[in-house]
Amino acid sequence: MLDLAHRLANLLEPWFHQHQRDLAWRRTRDPYAIWVSEIMLQQTRVDTVEAYYGRFLERFPDVGTLAAADESEVLAAWSGLGYYRRARLLHAGARHVATSHGGTVPDDPELLRKIPGVGRYTAGAIASIAFDRPTALVDGNVARVLSRLQALENPKQQDASAAGHWIMAQKIVQAGQPRVLAQALMELGATVCTPMGPRCEGCPVRSECQALAKGLQSTIPTPKQRAPSPREDLWAVAVRRNGRVLLEQRANEGLLGGMWCLPLIERKSTDRAGAPPRVIAEVTGVKVKSVEALVEPVKHVFTHRVWMLWPCRGEAAVVDVPFRAGYEDGPGRMWIAPGERPRGGIPKVTEKVLERLGY
């Protein structure tokens, strides 16, 4: 009698061939293109990635082109996808592959994991999907599928990092065509074995599912208790001069690292009319005549934090330094006109605030 892994493989392969979604990154075996898609898909919806994936590959069609590009070009192409650290690591990874592997993405999972930004899951995805190597990959979708199949009720055993999942995933991809089975596991979790309301009637492996047999499919995996994300209220300050507004480049580390944003100042409960002019001068080095606050804030949700950005405007007073419109006015500073954007692009939250301000 076949073991569980082989039985699952025999059921998953034909199901995937018949029911897989038609996604651009599934029409290629180019390891670079698959690598790009996997990085984009981290914490980002498939429909969002579809809008960026093709354009990014048109601009950077191979490792060498991406490696040779300036970081600002990469960030501009990534602008709007969020989690910009991914773009920087992808860029660094391309340079690593260019210098260490002659521009050819390696097929060895251990070598793949030495690439900046490529962890165990991404290495498994590239190795299995691009090179058809029997290499396990476990993300949240796969972990949920395997937890339900085995009726794992211990939350520690349900986690994507659990050793048992990686062992089982390895057995499954070895039991047939790795390229197909790796994607089938992910597809099953994304489209059928979903977190809420799994569609068990359409599941190709329902005959093997212990959670379904025990009536536990809605309670496995155990819902994670997440603390509310901390909220930060900040003034998004539009310092205006000659019809232009000041943008500053944030430090490379931290949220929106290296991105061009409006200066942000802590909003205290006593500050209702806008950021205090004295604080604006301290933060930006520009004195303002007066400050006008807009009524409604712009909300932006990060993975573990919520920003409430309160737009306010301040007209610059007489400035001692020469004004060079459209250029950096010192390191990490730029004055832009309405509709103008820095070369490296801006994050979505800054775009929202600028639109609110008419820029």
The residues assigned a catalytic role are 38
Element (H, E) at 49: helix 46-59
The secondary structure of 131-166 as a DSSP string is H--------HHHHHHHHHHTT---HHHHSTT-HHHH
Residue 80 is classified by DSSP as: T
Q: Categorise residue 40: left if φ over 0, alpha if ψ from -120 to 50, beta otherwise.
A: alpha
Q: Specify whether the CB–CB gap between 222 and 158 falls below 8 A.
A: yes
Number of residues assigned to the chain: 359
Nearest-5° angle of CA 149, CA 150, CA 152? Answer: 120
Q: Which of 296, 298, 279, 297 is nearest to 288 (CA)?
A: 279
Cβ–Cβ under 8 Å, residues 64 and 98: yes
**H or E element: which one contains 311?**
strand 306-316
